[in-house]
Structure 1
Amino acid sequence: MLSSWSTSLNLVFFSLTWTTIAMTYSPLQLEFFAPLLLRTFLYLLPSALFLLFDSLLPSLAVELKAQGELGLPGRQKGGARKIRRVMGWAVFNVVLAVAVQAGVEWFVTDVLRLRSLLLIKGSAWSLNHLPNPWTLVKHSILGLISRNILQYYIHLHILHSSAGGTLAHWHQTWHHSVQTPYSFIAAYDHPVCYLLHRFIPFYIPAITFRFHIMTYLLLLSLFSLEEVFTYSGYNVLPSTIMLRGMARRTDAHMMSQGKGNYGPIGVLDWVHGTTLGADVMGDVREEMDKHDVQERAGRAIDGVGDAANGFGNKLNSRAKKGRGKK
């Protein structure tokens, strides 16, 4: 009961806080400052902390790196100068993507005088400006799927294809100038390639289906953390089936100079046969074996069967007693 009350109160306070924010700031301000804060605290700062750890405690960090000594940023070609370049362009690209989003919003709302591209003020819960729960879940799933599909085909057919021309050259000479990844590498690319590969696959579905700003920020938070961990180069990560497998495929993509593993999750790589090393289905099987999923499922089914048999026996027993009384 106390837990239920606590959850309800948290939701009420969150609703009031968001309502106050939505009523205080303009859509343009929300679309600039909210993504900037999330990208700063969920991507840039964690990436800086990981880099600091790798630089100050290399003897400890090397034990956590999947590629050992090769995974340490300071041991790679270019040394400290290269690290400063990577950090500088990563920060620039992150701010650029937020500025482009805000610029598009300004042009649409202030110049063209149209409604905001993302749903910010007014919704199914118009009183407190919160999204409908079912819509939030539906759009989150849609955003995850759309982003992964677009990233895969853009990455494969433009950034790693002769058809990509200058874009492919830029991606190869910028992003793939680093052999083993660390978190800042996720945002280290030519600015045009970064927008095409990282920003467009997320932003286009969001404005096409007109996501609520809350849904957009939720997905942005997830994608920021995904980039931090999958490009970290560490082999000790929270999840086997998702992050650890994604990080392993990212390592293989970088070390092969882009010969495979073009999607962040790996499903389309598995479908099209572009996987390098263990595929996503192998991760699923490993996770199932780790947690004895089949054995637990079998026990659950047996338990349901036993319960059904017991219930049936009780019914038969009661029926016999009823006949005996007659």
Structure 2
Amino acid sequence: MGAFISLPIASIFAIPMLSSWSTSLNLVFFSITWTTIAMTYAPLQIEFFAPLVVRLLLYILPSAGFLVFDTLIPSLAVELKAQGEVALPGPRGKKKVSRVVAWSCFNVLLAVALQAGIEWLVTDVLKLQSILVIKDSVWSFNHLPNPWSMAKNIAEGLVLRNVLQYYIHLYLLHSPSPTYLTRWHSSWQHAIRAPYSFVANYDHPICFLLHRFLPLYLPACVFRFHIMTYLILLAIFSLEEVFTYSGYNVLPSTIMLRGMARRTDAHMMSVGKGNYGPIGVLDWCHGTTLGADVMDDVRDEMEKHDVQERTGKAMDDMGTRLKGRVRRGKGKK
């Protein structure tokens, strides 16, 4: 695994963020790096180790960093927590926190292993084509997908994952009629009232697979995403879990991360009375929002950045330019 991380996968995500090179150069390096991976490793190796590295770098390590910060500097962490001292993991007992961390990591590894196991069954046992595209690409020389196809699949993955997650969460994990799933979800994840990042994937394994793994993996299978598209979506959702379950009220974006974190907090503190999707759009549509909804976040963001005033000014400037052109055209005649 060390050799797998050393050259390719880490550099794919790190170099575009850390370097000051031009976009074109980053894309060239990205293409060369991914081609090296595709030519060096078997498809099954890529499908196991690539998601594992993404989850390790973008979920497990950042979650561990937040946990260490909350534990070692509680006096500072409490100032950043939306729920104050209640949200600190330390006072809950080391044994309980260790259980959350251990099961969260186990579930993450379970999802990676299950995905690789399904791929092995389909390709090596049943001798069918791979579920995700890995080397059979439109750009065969570098094994990368067509940019338009990638953008379209990312949009499909973002929308379908959030739709599936909302309805699975609402109708299966919080069904009005008690079932094994509702009892497991209640006694596992909802035993934690105020979240911290590891809580995102702390649940009974079956509930976890239904709520976290399936909404991303199922659309990828149906539309046969390229593995790179899947990794990008996995990276986005890993960071989403880290921040929205962090419990912090100081986050980069008002509309996205801050609003999503606030809705997640409300869901956990209410023991699942609402806010079944972090984005909040379907909660708004179905009337299951707790507290401020996503439209309130949009209005706040627009007021914060004076969107209406800037739009009006831009329209006025455009009108002035058009009038000037008309006058100059009449003058030439």
Unaligned runs of 5+ in 2: 1-18
Q: Which residue of 2 aligns with 1:50?
A: 66
Q: CA deviation at 1:264?
A: 1.8
8 Å Cα contact 1:157/1:163 also seen in 2? no
Q: Which among 45, 57, 67 is matched to residue 29 of structure 1?
A: 45
What is the aligned-residue identity percentage? 70
**Aligned-partner Cα distance in 2 for 1:123–1:164:** 46
C-alpha RMSD of the superposition: 1.3
Amino acid at match of 2:146: N
Amino acid at match of 2:332: R
Q: CA deviation at 1:80?
A: 1.1
Aligned length: 315
8 Å Cα contact 1:147/1:202 also seen in 2? yes
Q: CA deviation at 1:306?
A: 0.4
Q: Which moved more, 1:39-48 or 1:16-25?
A: 16-25
Q: Which among 81, 84, 87 is matched to residue 68 of structure 1?
A: 84
- TM-score in terms of structure 2 length: 0.93
8 Å Cα contact 1:120/1:212 also seen in 2? yes
Task: Say yes or no: does 1:318 pair with 2:314.
Answer: no
**What is the SS of the residue equivalent to 1:116?**
coil
Q: Which residue of 2 aligns with 1:86?
A: 100
Equivalent runs, 1:194-209 vs 2, <5 Å:
194-209=208-223
8 Å Cα contact 1:158/1:164 also seen in 2? no
Q: Which residue of 2 aligns with 1:322?
A: none
CA deviations on 1:39-97 (whole Å, 9 max, x unpaired) are: 00100000000000000000000000001111101133xx1110000000000000000
CA deviations on 1:151-179 (whole Å, 9 max, x unpaired) are: 00000000001446101100000000000
Q: Which among 105, 118, 122 is matched to residue 132 of structure 2?
A: 118
Task: Say yes or no: does 1:8 pair with 2:30.
Answer: no
**What is the SS of the residue equivalent to 2:225?**
coil
**Aligned-partner Cα distance in 2 for 1:10–1:162:** 51
The 1:103–1:5 alpha-carbon spacing in structure 2 relative to 1, beyond 3 Å, is closer
**What is the SS of the residue equivalent to 1:287?**
helix
Amino acid at match of 2:52: L
Equivalent runs, 1:146-225 vs 2, <5 Å:
146-163=160-177, 165-225=179-239
CA deviations on 1:203-223 (whole Å, 9 max, x unpaired) are: 000010000111000000000
Q: Which among 301, 304, 311 is matched to residue 287 of structure 1?
A: 301
**Aligned-partner Cα distance in 1 for 2:177–2:32:** 51
- TM-score in terms of structure 1 length: 0.95
8 Å Cα contact 1:260/1:275 also seen in 2? yes
**What is the SS of the residue equivalent to 1:125?**
coil
**What is the SS of the residue equivalent to 1:115?**
coil
**Aligned-partner Cα distance in 2 for 1:221–1:109:** 25
The 1:15–1:269 alpha-carbon spacing in structure 2 relative to 1, beyond 3 Å, is same
Q: Which among 32, 38, 41 is matched to residue 57 of structure 2?
A: 41
Q: Which among 129, 136, 153 is matched to residue 139 of structure 1?
A: 153
Q: CA deviation at 1:6?
A: 3.0
**What is the SS of the residue equivalent to 2:154?**
helix
**What is the SS of the residue equivalent to 1:221?**
helix
Unaligned runs of 5+ in 1: 320-326
Amino acid at match of 1:185: V
Q: Which residue of 2 aligns with 1:231?
A: 245
The 1:243–1:5 alpha-carbon spacing in structure 2 relative to 1, beyond 3 Å, is closer
